[in-house]
Every structure is written in C-alpha cells, then in structure tokens.
A = this chain, B = another copy of it.
Amino acid sequence: MIAFNHILLFGVGLIGGSLSLALRKSGYTGKITGIDRNEASLARARELGLIDEMARSTADAVGEADLILLAAPVAQTAPLLASIRPWLREDVLITDVGSTKSDVVAAAYRELGDRVGCFIPAHPIAGREVNGPDAAIDDLFAGKKLVITPLPENTGKDIEKVAMMWMQCDAVIHFLSPQDHDNVFAMVSHLPHLLSYALVDQVARHPNAGLMFQYAASGFRDFTRIAGSSPEMWRDISIANKTQLLQELDSYLAELELLRGMLASDDAAGVEAVYANAQQARLNWITTIEAAEKQGGTS
C-alpha cells in the first residue's frame, strides 16, 4: 500500500497529473496538493481533480507533506530543492521524475546537504508528445519502467516506499546508477529527440517547406512524433546531459559521414549492410519487447 498521507506535487502537468490520476485509481485516499509556476495550469489541475488543493505557500505546503514529488523541467530541480529545504518535515521523502539523473543527484547533494538521504531520484519511462494538465491520463505508467537511481544515503525502507507508490500505478521498478541511466537515455531517448527536432526544423526552414509538408506521410509522422514534445523540457534535458549526449551525437555524425561516403561512391552493398543490420537489430528488439510484455511486463 501507499505509505504517504499527503503528497505535494511540484508541477501538475502530464507527469504529475497522470501520477495523481493513477494513484486515485489505485485507491489512494490521502491528500494531493499542487504547486505550479503556471497559475493557469494549477487552476486547471484543480478543476480536473488532479489535485485536492492549490498550495497557499511553499512553506505551508512543504510543511504538511510527507511526500514531495518534483515534476518540473530538470533545470528547476536545484532552485526547487533550495526553496523547500527550510520547511521539510523530519519524516518527509522527496522524489523526482527527471529524465536525467547525474545532474539531479548533484543538485540534491548541493541543495539538501545533510538531508540528502530523504531524496530518492527516479525516472518513469513514460510520456506523451502532449503536455499540461489536460494531457494527464490514469494509465500513463501501466506496464512502463520506473527507474530508481538510489543514493548511498537512502535507506532500503525509504526506497521501498517510493517504489511501492509507483507499483500501485502498475509501473515496473528498475534500478540503475545515475551514470548508467544517463548513458543509456542519451542514446535511446535524448539523441532521438534532438534528431527529430532537427529534421522538422530543417523542413520548416526549407525553401520548399510548403510542398514538403504537403507530401510528408506516415513515416515522417512517426519519425517526428517526439518533436511534438515540450521544447523547454527537452532543452533542459539536452543541456543537463550534454556530456553523454555530445558523445552519442558525435558517434552518430561519424555514422552519417560513413553512409554519406557510401552513397557518394555508389557503394550499394555498404549501404545495404548498414540498413540490414539495423532492420535485424530492431526486429530482435521488438520481438524481445513483445515477449516481455506477454509475460506481464516483468524483466
């Protein structure tokens, strides 16, 4: 069951709002308070029933909460932690949903000092390309991974409390180090986002943009779905994880230069070998994923 009685959400958009809906669906009867720098979003979240009340002040809301969840773009982690630090209860736990972890962990050490043990860094591998309270859905996390990157200062019991909350939302708990987390997601998430944004930007700035958008079809639509994501959120992620992201971007640039050379020299066999390796690897991946999903999402 859920160990918390009063949850405070910093950020009531897609992720914070979906967590709230999922918790209610699972039978959570405690209080959920919200804070958001966007007052219209906050009011809308109240209207939609994502939160029971809008916080009167940070001091009051933090002083009452036994779980604080940071669900704002990752660059706000440090200022948010600094702003809540003076009002934390003795028994509070703090967790987050940031798509990067090394920078979030560094911010936690810097801002929370001797209270860092109450911060359990986490990242739900779930999202949609739409944002805000109206995008929240109650099954966003169902069957999806929730990665916890624990600190040495965390107790097993506290980690379990946060894990249990996410398990109530039908998420599947995984553990990684912050560094492994950031390596992996630079490659399979942060780089694809950058590449997708870059392609749409190129089309939009093209002299023939109108004609091109007219003939763009389902392949383009899927390739660029993630370019519909929040620019601010992905700006923060790109900058926060830039060391890993630049490393994978450089590998990708080298891969493109290789393909460029093959095309320029009519090396059809070379081009086909790259394409075929990718096709086979993706097929293996999809097959593995589908097998895991049939087993109920455990892994």
Contacts and interface: CB of A to CB of B under 8 A. Distances in A.
Contact of A217 (B126, B199, B275): B126
Interface size class of A (residues with CB under 8 A): 35 or more
B239 A268 contact: yes
Q: How many copies does the complex hold?
A: 2
A263 B245 contact: yes
A188 interface: yes
Nearest to A198: B255
Given A217-B144, A219-B226, A231-B279, A191 B184 contact: no
Indicate the member of A185, A196, A285 with the most B CB atoms within 10 Å: A285
A199 B194 CA distance: 12
Given A194-B259, A219-B127, A231-B275, A281 B200 contact: yes
Interface string A196-214: 1111111111101101111
18 contacts: A184-B211, A184-B212, A184-B215, A187-B203, A187-B208, A188-B212, A188-B216, A192-B219, A196-B223, A197-B274, A200-B279, A222-B222, A228-B283, A231-B278, A234-B275, A238-B263, A242-B266, A253-B257
A187 to B, nearest CB: 5
Given A144-B217, A198-B256, A235-B272, A204 B278 contact: yes
B188 A275 contact: no
B260 A246 contact: yes
Contact of A288 (B183, B213, B278): B213
B201 A217 contact: no
Given A227-B279, A242-B266, 20 more contacts: A125-B215, A125-B217, A126-B217, A180-B211, A184-B208, A184-B215, A187-B208, A188-B215, A188-B216, A188-B217, A188-B220, A192-B223, A214-B299, A222-B226, A227-B275, A227-B282, A235-B271, A242-B264, A253-B253, A256-B256
A101 interface: no
Contacts of A191: 199
A195 interface: yes
A291 to B, nearest CB: 13
